[in-house]
Amino acid sequence: MSVREISIRDALREAMSEEMRRDERVFLVGEEVGGYNGAYKCSRGMQEEFGKKRVIDAPIAECGFSGVGIGAAMVGLRPIVEYMTFNFSLVAIDQIINTAAKARLMSAGQFTLPIVFRGAGGAAFQLGAQHANSFDGFYAYTPGLIVVAPATPYDMKGLLKSSIRDDNPVVFFESELTYGLKGEVPEEEYLVPIGKAEVKRAGTDLTIITWSKNLFLSLEVAEALSAEGVSAEVLDLRTLRPLDTEAVLKSVAKTHRVLVIQEQHEVSSYGAYLSHLIQSEIFDELDAPIGLVSTLEAPMPYSKSLEAVILPSQERCLEAAHRVLEGSR
């Protein structure tokens, strides 16, 4: 395949545009997706190409336009619902969890729900407590939803295309901080399968498990450990539900030590679930307690210095990695 370097925002735009050209049932709805080209310019030029009936500027009413998308999916269309930030998806939580996630089961398969809910999730720079939450683990808690949280331009495009083609509701997490990040993306069409993790860096001494933008932090941590003579493997989950359990257990059985890095509060978190899964499935393969680096247990402060303290940092991750490597708690 021939490749070029493009940004994540362009990878997402290409994915949506290609799928809309491929299937006339696909449409995009959300705040400022049309005339403003998207809050983060992920839909630049799409309304000009596809028209106002397929790239729809919605009012500030997440519950309303989420419900419209769900209804459209139930009668055969394939909507993409964009949230300016996933914090605003809380206004539509009844629609997503009580309707989208359950309609296929409760209708005994009479309805399918081919809908994608996508947008920016997690902290950015100084957005304050109400605009900086990570809800990937929250949605992964809910049976009936597929939850995707990629990091690179390649994975963003390939997984969004797969998500649009899936007949189940998909919650697709992006990051406001990485929309401008560039990476290699093929010019030819490709798909990345849902539910498949990927080893982004091979190693033998420690497995670092992560997803979404913390992949880049994890790679920095692995590089710093390499300077100390430690070979760290970085496993990018890419999809939280369904989880690629086989890839997780295979990597842990190889390195025998685990560090999970997540932008979630530790209590009832996805990282805590991963720790339980690993210990219950292959406890005898572990040579040390599992390490877990999380967001500290407080609402996100607006202060730049305090925000840096609360979020996972390279310093905190290295300290946790050293504890795991030493076999201590």
The CATH fold of domain 198-326? Rossmann fold (3.40.50)
Q: What is the pLDDT of residue 59?
A: 95
DSSP state of 181: -
Edge-to-edge strands, sheet with 198-201:
198-201, 232-236, 206-210, 258-265, 291-295
163 has pLDDT over 60 = yes
User: Which of the four pLDDT bands, split at 50, 70 and 90, describes residue 129?
Assistant: confident
Give the three-class secondary structure for 208.
strand
218: its two tokens = 């994890």
User: How far apart, in whole angstroms, are the C-alpha atoms of residue 261 and residue 219?
Assistant: 11
What digits encode the pLDDT tens for the residues 74-87?
A: 999 999 999 999 99
| Cα–Cα separations (whole angstroms), residue 280 to 94, 273, 285, 286 | 33, 10, 11, 11
| Cα–Cα separations (whole angstroms), residue 292 to 30, 40, 119, 151, 329 | 35, 31, 26, 20, 11
Which pTM was predicted? 0.96
Catalytic residue (choose from 14, 19, 62, 307): 62
| Cα–Cα separations (whole angstroms), residue 86 to 30, 93, 249 | 12, 10, 30
In this chain, the answer to whether the domains covering 3-186 and 198-326 adopt an identical fold is yes
276 catalytic, yes or no? no
Q: What share of the chain is helix, strand, coil (3-state, %, to 5)?
A: 40, 20, 40
**Closest of 29, 13, 10, 20 to residue 67, by C-alpha:** 29
Range in 124-133, 146-155, 207-216 with the lowest mean pLDDT: 124-133
Tell me which long-range contacts 124-130 makes (C-beta under 8 A, separation of at least 24): 124/175, 124/176, 124/177, 125/177, 125/304, 125/307, 126/302, 126/303, 126/304, 126/307, 127/85, 127/176, 127/300, 127/302, 128/300, 128/301, 128/302, 129/299, 129/300, 129/301, 129/302, 130/87
Please give the full DSSP string across 22-68, using - where no structure is assigned: H-TTEEEEETTSSTT--TTSTTTTHHHHH-TTTEEEPPS-HHHHHHH
User: How far apart, in whole angstroms, are the C-alpha atoms of residue 272 and residue 297?
Assistant: 14
52 has pLDDT over 50 = yes
Asked if residues 321 and 232 have their Cβ atoms less than 8 Å apart, the reply is yes
327 has pLDDT over 90 = no
What digits encode the pLDDT tens for the residues 170-209?
A: 999 999 999 999 999 999 999 999 999 999 999 999 999 9
What digits encode the pLDDT tens for the residues 278-295?
A: 999 999 999 999 999 999
62 catalytic, yes or no? yes
128 has pLDDT over 90 = no
286: amino acid identity, one letter: L
Q: What is the mean pLDDT of the chain?
A: 95
User: Which of the four pLDDT bands, split at 50, 70 and 90, describes residue 125?
Assistant: confident
Task: Look at the alpha carbons of 279, 241, 14, 86 in this order and tell me if their dihedral is positive or negative.
Answer: negative
Residue boundaries of the structural domains of the chain: 3-186, 198-326
The CATH fold of domain 3-186? Rossmann fold (3.40.50)
Q: What is the pLDDT of residue 329?
A: 46
Asked if residues 117 and 67 have their Cβ atoms less than 8 Å apart, the reply is no
Q: Measure CA of the first residue to CA of the last residue in the chain; give whole Å.
A: 47
Phi, psi of 92, deg, nearest 5: -110, 20
Count helices and strands in the chain by DSSP H and E runs: 12, 14
Catalytic residue (choose from 14, 19, 82, 131): 131
**Closest of 126, 124, 146 to residue 136, by C-alpha:** 146
Q: What is the pLDDT of residue 328?
A: 54
192: its two tokens = 């990345």
Q: What is the pLDDT of residue 28?
A: 98
Q: What is the pLDDT of residue 123?
A: 85
What digits encode the pLDDT tens for the residues 232-286?
A: 999 999 999 999 999 999 999 999 999 999 999 999 999 999 999 999 999 999 9
